[in-house]
Amino acid sequence: MLIREAVDGDWQAIWPFLHEIVSAGETFSWPRDIDEVTAREMWMPSATSRTVVAVADDGTVLGSARMYANHMGPASHIASASFMVDARHSRRGVGRALGEDMLAWARSAGFRGVQFNAVVESNTRAVALWRSLGFEIIGTVPEGFRSPAHGYVGLHIMYRKL
Amino acid sequence: MLIREAVDGDWQAIWPFLHEIVSAGETFSWPRDIDEVTAREMWMPSATSRTVVAVADDGTVLGSARMYANHMGPASHIASASFMVDARHSRRGVGRALGEDMLAWARSAGFRGVQFNAVVESNTRAVALWRSLGFEIIGTVPEGFRSPAHGYVGLHIMYRKL
């Protein structure tokens, strides 16, 4: 598996699983009925963000991550990121590889820490993955997320120092 | 003091104190060298936010607040907001009046809670004000903010249920 920066041509591979993940409404705080144009603007690289794809040896895009400063100005030394893994390629370490790449990028870019603002409590695999990469839950918004399957669940804020 | 929705004509009164507050770098996680056009886009009302001004009896704009959903989709039931008070009119209850207006708006708009993402630890008056309005610190990003006067300080996430 290779992690490389996303290019325009990757979007057609990203959109199907991004759409599936966002529509499901279980893990992402994006509008569930998002249209493709808006989603592309929100996910693909911009002047203030970096987007990567995880690619299999045969060129298949397995997942993607977007990373950026969490705030601006006097709080711009803390990075954040969002992650999407194609369900057809789950349990192959794609999320972990994307997370490790993100941490390496944040370190090399000079960030002092990484904060995830909205890790859904019922997304236990994500919570466990981030813990295993050194993150801890520094706070939870009670009933901050409404899961179609689980109803109102907490929304964790997770952090790790770099 | 009256709190009313901001209109285009209010910008010329808001920009001087907004600029002063953001440039000082002590309380806002915005670029300290922000230009007026960008600041106006970030502060004035948009399709997904409401901006108000606090106005004295003589028409002077004393402060301003911007409020919006903190996340989208399945997490769009938690509101957030940012507040600016002109230093020349501080200690007159402007922040409290703006905060109370924000809570009333969030309730009437059907939000279930309010989350502030970045309350600077050294901004003790703001922390005390939000506590007095029913907020609690649910987490703190260690050294999440770099204050010109205090160096690295924590960045609180504050929350109250509605």
CA distance B146 to chain A (A): 5
Chain segment B75-91, per-residue pLDDT in tens: 999 999 999 999 999 99
Give the burial class of A5: count Cβ atoms within 10 A of its Cβ; 0-12 exposed, 13-18 middle, 19 or more buried: exposed
Among the residues of B3-123, which ranges form H helices? 11-24, 36-43, 94-108
Burial of residue A7, with CB atoms counted within 10 A of its CB: 0-12 exposed, 13-18 middle, 19 or more buried: exposed
Q: Are A44 and A18 in contact (CB under 8 A)?
A: no
Chain length of chain A: 162
Are B138 and B159 contacting, i.e. CB atoms less than 8 angstroms apart? yes
**Beta-carbon contacts of residue B44 (< 8 Å; ≥ 6 apart):** B6, B8, B11, B51
CA gap A119, B49 in Å, rounded: 24
* Residues A138 and A122 sit within 8 Å (Cβ to Cβ): no
The packing angle between helices B94-108 and B124-132, to 10°, is: 50
Alpha carbon of A141: minimum distance to chain B alpha carbons (Å): 7
Residue pLDDT, tens place only, B17-70:
999 999 999 999 999 999 999 999 999 999 889 999 999 999 999 999 999 999
Contacts of A118 in chain B (CB under 8 A): 71, 75
Structural tokens at position B162: 């509605």
| DSSP strand pairing (A113-120 vs A78-85) | parallel
What tokens were used for B42?
Answer: 């970030």
Verify whether the Cβ–Cβ distance B71 to A139 is below 8 Å.
no
CATH of the domain at B8: 3.40.630.30
How many structural domains compose chain A?
1
Taking contacts as CB-CB distances below 8 angstroms, the residues of chain B near A144 are: 71, 75, 78, 113, 115
pLDDT band at B114 (very low <50, low <70, confident <90, very high): very high
A5-47 pLDDT tens trace: 999 999 999 999 999 999 999 999 999 999 999 999 999 999 8
Q: Which residue of B has its CA nearest to A137?
A: B139
Tell me whether residues B29 and A71 touch, CB distance under 8 A.
yes
Query: What is the ipTM score, two decimals?
Result: 0.93
Which domain does B51 fall in, by range? 2-161
B32 chain-A contacts, CB cut-off 8 A:
73-74
- Which of B39, B73, B33, B67 lies closest to B53, judged by CA? B67
Give A14's strand partners. Answer: none
